[in-house]
A and B are shown apart, each in its own frame.
Chain A
Amino acid sequence: MTPVARITRDEVAHVAGLARLRLTDEELERFTEQLGTVLDHAADVASLDLAGVPRTAHAMAVTNVLRPDEPRPSLDREEVLRSAPAVESNRFRVPRILGDAP
């Protein structure tokens, strides 16, 4: 097995930031090690000669799973909003948004 460049601690910190995860130093160390092991496994596959093998999009060899365009009942609004931390004017109330939608 060819060892590939392992994921760095900085990369793990970056990805954790994108996922809005706050990790302790100890967790960063641990996840860097674990993710490295996962990537080593992927590298096993990458070392094979896969020329001519089509990309696999899904673990199941199934396509065209579709449903007819027929309406079904939606949830009761009272029930939906009861689960929300904050509600105003029948809408979900969320902390103010900085910046614009991507």
Chain B
Amino acid sequence: MTDVRRADQDGAGEAWEMVVGLEVHTELKTATKLFCGCANLFGDEPNTRVCPVCLGLPGSLPVLNQRAVELAMAIGTALHCEIRPSTFHRKNYFYPDMPKDYQISQYDEPINVSGWLELPGGRRIGIERAHLEEDTGKTAHAGASGRIHGAEYSLVDYNRSGVPLVEIVSAPDMRSSAEARAYAAELRAILVACGASDGKMEEGSMRVDANVSVRRGPDAPFGTRCEIKNLNSLRSLGRAVDFEARRQIALLESGEVVVQQTRHWDEGEGRTVALRSKEEAYDYRYFLEPDLVPVVPDPAWITAVGASLGPLPGERRARLATLVAGALPAGAGGSPDPGVGADLEGAPGVSDADQEQISTVVDLGLDGLVTAAVEGGIPARLALARTANEAATDAAAAAGLDPRAYTSLLAMEVAGSLSATQVKAVLHDLLAGGGDPAELARARGFEAMADGALVAVVQEAVDSHPAEWDRYRGGEEKLAQFFVGQVMKATRGQANGKAVVAELERLAAR
């Protein structure tokens, strides 16, 4: 990550500081659109989810979707906003993705105002507003060249027209690309936890625009900002923000000025470019939507929506951290499996690596697996590591795992009847098709590595390395790992490290 803070060359001024605010649009996971009963479905055949309302046909009237309002209130609650009476406006502009030639949006009276989001590190980022609006249709540009600038005409699909959105506007409170990424990641986790969004940036169901400016130190007035669009991943967000801040610093240091404009992030080129836009500023002629009445949530409704919210990511991370911190250090009950030992040893506190695994698990919504496994007697660090490192590789399948099957698989690792490598292989099968872990293990032939077979392999490793064996018997315990490695090599990872160590100890004591 690039840090734009750097010392002023002549020492006369303060170091540069970047200022970032984010505008995040999230599509709501409702069954229908915001103002009509057309299904809210992604990727359907073009123009099959349209009706007079979302096509803007004369005489049609919008009726507000109650579920969309409740999801907006849930988002407001999760972001500690004031939920207030709100109205809808028409935002007028001519663009073929809006068949009515206006978008219905909330303007000066949004449903949620003045909240905050706490980053995992504890810093709070202000939320200015989170309001409801409708999405636009999708345009594709066609023509001889196939590119937008050479396009001779455009093709429009209105399936997305009228899909409910919530736009969440942060305060300009972020001071680095790392904070911008952390904010977007945390907001995504919160939206998913609320059941409001699937949080898929790549598919466009969560879209992030960044407002970036730079200034001389934390006390200087804000500089002129640029808005960056087309950020399709957290990585793009981080890169774009860093690039833009450097671009603005270079302009200012060479005596030029930053022009307020909208810029497009080019992921391939790794830079932002000014959009070719019209000279005049847009004049949307907002006015109250006469076909909709105000939404006035009463306290009972707000309370009911808040009560339906499950635990939010911050709380869930804290829960996992408590489990990990409370885990007994390994070694108390015998030598740990070499595959897990590194995770299990050390202080009982929560390390940075633990935190990273905890964040991964919570972001993917897999913390239920970890807590179920721990309740089923699995050591917290093992449950966390297997979930963050293995189950997370196929998060969609892992979310559908039967927690009891998952727990019984990890229990086989704890009991030593399967090695770490074998558990990973069985988990792969479990994620791919479900089933009973014990049967899946048998199907893979993992039973073959029974104690009898292991004894022979260990004996062979000992016989082949007499010098190392003598040193091990002489008290160099770390050579146990050497023999475990030999046995793993001979069995292509199918042996159980714990069982190997036990057999070595048995032989040495003879």
Interface residues of A (CB under 8 A from B): 15, 18-20, 57-60, 62-75, 77, 80-81, 86, 88-97, 99-102
Contacts and interface: CB of A to CB of B under 8 A. Distances in A.
A interface: dominant SS = loop
B154 interface: yes
Interface centre among A15, A92, A99, A101, by most chain B C-beta atoms within 10 angstroms, is: A92
Contact of B277 (A19, A57, A99): A99
A67 B63 contact: yes
B288 interface: yes
Given A67-B65, A69-B32, A80-B50, A96 B143 contact: yes
B278 interface: yes
Given A71-B37, A74-B48, A90-B46, A97 B95 contact: yes
B278 A94 contact: no
B93 interface: yes
Contacts of B37: 67, 70-73
B49 interface: yes
B47 A80 contact: yes
A65 B140 CA distance: 35
B66 A80 contact: no
Interface residues of B, number: 64
A66 B285 contact: no
B96 A91 contact: no
13 contacts: A62-B293, A65-B64, A67-B65, A69-B30, A72-B37, A77-B47, A80-B55, A94-B139, A94-B154, A94-B155, A96-B141, A97-B154, A99-B277
Nearest to A58: B293
B308 to A, nearest CB: 14
Contacts, number: 147
Contacts of A93: 153-156
B318 interface: no
Interface centre among A18, A60, A71, by most chain B C-beta atoms within 10 angstroms, is: A71
A88 B155 contact: yes
Interface centre among B37, B64, B92, B296, by most chain A C-beta atoms within 10 angstroms, is: B37
A63 B93 CA distance: 27
B52 interface: yes
A91 B47 contact: yes
A73 to B, nearest CB: 8
Interface in B1-56: 30-32, 36-39, 45-52, 55
Contacts of A71: 31-32, 37-39
Contact of A91 (B30, B51, B156): B156
Contacts of A101: 95, 97, 136, 139
Contacts of B142: 88
Contact of B296 (A63, A97, A100): A63
Nearest to B158: A92
Contacts of A88: 142, 153, 155
Contact of B38 (A19, A65, A74, A86): A74
Contacts of A20: 94
Given A15-B285, A65-B293, A96-B141, 4 more contacts: A75-B51, A90-B47, A92-B157, A101-B139
Nearest to A101: B95
Interface of B: 30-32, 36-39, 45-52, 55, 63-69, 85, 87, 92-97, 109, 136, 139-143, 151-158, 262, 264, 275-278, 282-285, 288, 290, 292-297
Contact of B49 (A67, A68, A74, A91): A74
Contact of A69 (B66, B155, B277, B282): B66
A30 B85 CA distance: 40
B155 A99 contact: no
A69 B31 contact: yes
Contacts of B46: 89-91
B290 A58 contact: yes
Contacts of A99: 275-278
Contact of B294 (A63, A73, A95): A63
Given A71-B37, A77-B47, A97-B96, A91 B140 contact: yes
Given A65-B63, A65-B64, A66-B65, A94 B153 contact: yes
Contacts of A94: 96, 139, 153-156
Nearest to B71: A69
Interface centre among B36, B109, B293, B295, by most chain A C-beta atoms within 10 angstroms, is: B293
Contact of A102 (B32, B36, B69, B95): B95
Contact of A57 (B31, B68, B87, B151): B87
A1 B296 CA distance: 36
Nearest to B109: A57
A86 to B, nearest CB: 8
Given A69-B67, A91-B47, A96-B152, A63 B295 contact: yes
Contacts of B52: 75
B145 to A, nearest CB: 11
A92 B138 CA distance: 11
Contacts of A59: 290
